[in-house]
Chain A
């Protein structure tokens, strides 16, 4: 049960390995430098406090946090079922729920329209029954982001549940713990790292969502225009300064979360 790794010879210096690794690292670092050096530092305050920027950032935060919450509420039971349940078609179900991870997001957006759009086979009866429509609304943004991001949560939590020693739960039961206590005091703490990692991954994926959002929810400033959409519009309408400034904000937010996650989950 020792945690220390096996003692081994120190990795010898390999020049080829070092050069390739350095190139890989620089490949990631250069674009960041580009963003920082290219930023309109002179008037950055006015750019990032513009109505477009503030609205887009607000929408992005609300939508990404909402879809993360949805992933927690609905994704956890799904992960539990996939990890612990025994039923026919489990493999198929797992494949289908994780499909959005590999599907081009724009395809996801079209699929969402066909199901939950105003003419979709769910969207149409939903509208006639309740008057609620999803496309081109904030709710639509949240649906699109959830569709693309939730699989990351399900997969991470499922693998956490699978890799934990279930006999620890037996031990807790034999010591007098109810199923509820076992869940709260043993299962949850043991899968906590996967839970935290899954939440961060899901949130990050939702924050960056573009293709499914623009296809399903459109690009209405102040309603469905999230940060990635606003950046894309600025860039394509030659307002490069604005695009760079908004991008820097997203980089900053993501960086803060990644550092926080490393500290909390101890991921090295």
Chain B
């Protein structure tokens, strides 16, 4: 069980993140570049001293600046797998993996045996004596995983473990990682900016932006009710902010929407692109939720087309490919966007 309250003042970032991770749980830390994800991991490991807050792992205080407690990085039962792996180039795979065991007092023979076993478990028996420079990216990634796992850490930190992999092997490695994490009884933190990783591997999610936690919850909760445009963009939904009174939502940037359910006060509204219709003519008989805008971009997403309409508000609609031609979407002209009240999900800000 990790109880963390990370407070850091860096030149480019003020980081304030308090969270807990239970033993056996996987917390996915999601956020854009520069949001403080990797910094959080460096602070947990002890490579970056805290300005305030504290880090408690399994009841042991690892860091508490107010009480001048700081356990050295090498004394913490934590393993960190780096985004770029940082394998030691002058050591073979088995030496890389045995390194942590040797540092923590295991004798040479036992360390090598355990390292070789861990490598075999990750299907790396063939590269035991190879140096990182002679391995493929996927093999290096698994050696890095083995090196982090072999010491049986109480807290396992994975920094973008799949980011540097080829798309072709990502799915397999993700499955392998999921199996590894399922068997783990450590507290696990997975840093990623890939929503798929967070959903597939995380039990719980934290969304970090500009060093602040903007949302927590299960992956299902977070993706269903995003609280930031970052998450909304990842899931591909429209997120609008406004003030509700009854079923009328006055949007912050201008415009208003008629919603199916009543609400009051600051409200967020989510609209799936498939729930937005577009047409050249003003939709007939629609008194509400129809507005005129200009096509700003057209993207192909699989067998659907996303049309970004710049209006008040700006919104993304999803149409079948045939509509691009029918509606002459590429001429940049004006277009009506229309949303059924039932397609709008609202929840308080």
Q: In the bound complex, how far is the Cα of B100 from the Cα of A114, in angstroms?
A: 54
Q: A176 near B103 (CB under 8 angstroms)? A: yes
Q: In the bound complex, how far is the Cα of B221 from the Cα of A166, in angstroms?
A: 40
Q: List 24 A-B contacts (CB under 8 A).
A: A1-B140, A2-B133, A3-B133, A167-B84, A167-B86, A168-B89, A170-B42, A171-B80, A172-B103, A173-B45, A174-B47, A174-B73, A174-B74, A175-B103, A175-B147, A176-B100, A176-B104, A176-B151, A177-B74, A177-B99, A177-B103, A178-B74, A185-B99, A190-B90
Any A CB within 8 A of the CB of B338: no
Q: In the bound complex, how far is the Cα of B88 from the Cα of A174, in angstroms?
A: 13
* B residues less than 8 Å from A167 (CB atoms): 82, 84, 86
Any B CB within 8 A of the CB of A186: yes
Of all chain B residues, the one with the shortest Cβ separation from A2 is B133
* A residues less than 8 Å from B140 (CB atoms): 1
Q: Which chain B residues (113-169) contact chain A, with CB distance < 8 Å?
A: 132-133, 137, 140, 147, 151
User: B107 to nearest A CB, angstroms?
Assistant: 15
Q: B90 near A175 (CB under 8 angstroms)? A: no
Q: In the bound complex, how far is the Cα of B194 from the Cα of A180, in angstroms?
A: 38
B99 CB contact (under 8 Å) in A2, A170, A172, A178: A172
* A residues less than 8 Å from B268 (CB atoms): none
* A residues less than 8 Å from B73 (CB atoms): 173-174
Q: Which chain B residues (36-88) contact chain A, with CB distance < 8 Å?
A: 42, 45-47, 72-75, 78-80, 82, 84, 86, 88
Known: A174-B79, A177-B74. 5 other contacts (CB 8 A): A168-B86, A173-B74, A174-B45, A176-B74, A190-B90
> Which 4 residue pairs of A and B lie closest in terms of their CB atoms, listed nearest first?
A175-B100, A176-B103, A171-B86, A173-B73
Any B CB within 8 A of the CB of A189: yes
Interface size on A, residues (CB 8 A): 20
B88 CB contact (under 8 Å) in A1, A172, A173, A178: A172
Q: In the bound complex, how far is the Cα of B136 from the Cα of A190, in angstroms?
A: 21
* B residues less than 8 Å from A170 (CB atoms): 42, 47, 86
User: B269 to nearest A CB, angstroms?
Assistant: 43
Q: In the bound complex, how far is the Cα of B86 from the Cα of A98, in angstroms?
A: 33
* B residues less than 8 Å from A189 (CB atoms): 90
CB contacts between A and B, total, < 8 Å: 60
Q: B103 near A181 (CB under 8 angstroms)? A: yes
Any B CB within 8 A of the CB of A165: yes
User: B2 to nearest A CB, angstroms?
Assistant: 16
Q: B47 near A1 (CB under 8 angstroms)? A: no
Of all chain B residues, the one with the shortest Cβ separation from A176 is B103
Q: In the bound complex, how far is the Cα of B104 from the Cα of A73, in angstroms?
A: 30
Of all chain B residues, the one with the shortest Cβ separation from A175 is B100
Q: In the bound complex, how far is the Cα of B73 from the Cα of A171, in angstroms?
A: 10
Q: In the bound complex, how far is the Cα of B151 from the Cα of A168, in angstroms?
A: 18
Q: A175 near B132 (CB under 8 angstroms)? A: no
Q: In the bound complex, how far is the Cα of B82 from the Cα of A142, in angstroms?
A: 47
Known: A174-B47, A177-B99. A168 touches B74 (CB 8 A): no
Q: In the bound complex, how far is the Cα of B75 from the Cα of A147, in angstroms?
A: 43
* B residues less than 8 Å from A172 (CB atoms): 88, 99, 103
A1 CB contact (under 8 Å) in B45, B72, B133: B133
Interface residues as binary, A189-200 with B (CB distance below 8 Å gives 1, 0 otherwise): 110000000000
Of all chain B residues, the one with the shortest Cβ separation from A171 is B86
* B residues less than 8 Å from A175 (CB atoms): 74, 79, 99-100, 103, 147, 151
User: B137 to nearest A CB, angstroms?
Assistant: 8
User: B193 to nearest A CB, angstroms?
Assistant: 20
Of all chain A residues, the one with the shortest Cβ separation from B134 is A3
User: A234 to nearest B CB, angstroms?
Assistant: 47
